[in-house]
Amino acid sequence: MNWYLQNGKDSDVVISSRVRLSRNIEGIPYVQKCKEEELKAIYNKIKEIVPSIGYGLKFISMKDLDDLNKESLVEKHLISPEFAKSKNPYCALVINDEENICIAINEEDHIKLQVFSSGLELENLMNLAIEIDQKLEELVPYSFSKKYGYLTACPTNVGTGLKISVLAHLPALSITGNIRKVLNAVNNFGMSIRGLYGEGSNIEGDFYQISNNQTIGITEKEITKNLKVISQKIIEQERMARKYLAKKGIELEDKLYRDFGILSNARKISEEETRELISNVKLGTDLGIIKELDDTKVSKLILETKPACLQLKVGKKLSIYEQDVERANIIKQILLN
């Protein structure tokens, strides 16, 4: 089972964790300044060394993927929306079958190494990322400064080149009106709060992406520790808010079961409405109120109702109206199975 369909540590609040390392090859300009032959050289070099890295990794050229498959990778949070839309013919992915390791080639930087896990799993992810990074560095020389650390296209990534993020589901803090206090506290600790798909995306369905800002003048270990401390505080605050909501008893149960009723009985349903309903239904499942669902079904609902994943599951392109009808059918299939 792929990582995004699994149940991880503290996954009632933290949906997933990601560790990302940005790297560039010594002696070659950044992607935006590269000539075509230089982009091609990076592409061919990575393609050549993939078998030596291990982990069951495969090299996939982005130009060989259609738009739906690219968009499904965005929906799974494996690549950025910008990378999916890139016209660069020498963009590629190095990815394994479980999709918990995904390396973007010629995105913003030459190499963007990412590892993923369900739930809160920062130390193990960091260890895996460093292990793969060291193997890569033995095969390709990195751009590195003794003064500044790893050199990256974006100045905010210079130093460790490390971005760690957790995707958190915080419905109770939103319902109780405490979400702004928590988000302000996170900002004060030098962390960023973004929507589902990172920078520039909107907050949707009470899902928040929290990541580190500082990458220079701080070690990888310190970044990992700081984000873990912040994440644990957020988990604690969200669980306290859920306990408070649970005291409402029948009123809360009625609200959550009404949402479950709409979700399970609709004949057609939009992506936006589905996202809002799933957020509440997940809360009901995590509180033990909605017993008809489990974590795996909720994960499938989150993923398989998204436009590209939905169309790939059906096996054809659909209009928005057809997606709304098919989405209702897929929801029923997940609930019945």
Q: Which fold has domain 3-241?
A: Creatine Kinase; Chain A, domain 2 (3.30.590)
pLDDT of residue 201: 45
pLDDT of residue 248: 87
First to last CA, the chain: 16
pLDDT in tens, 4-35: 998 899 999 999 999 999 999 999 999 999 99
pLDDT of residue 337: 80
Can you list the residues of the chain whose pLDDT is less than 70? Answer: 195-205
pLDDT of residue 202: 53
**pTM (2 d.p.):** 0.91
Q: What are phi and psi of 207, to 5 degrees?
A: -100, 125
The whole-angstrom separation of Cα 277 and Cα 256 is: 9
Nearest Cα to 52, choosing from 174, 156, 136? 136
The whole-angstrom separation of Cα 116 and Cα 58 is: 17
The whole-angstrom separation of Cα 310 and Cα 308 is: 5
Domain assignments of the chain as residue spans, ordered by start: 3-241, 250-336
- Amino acid symbol at 70: K
pLDDT of residue 199: 53
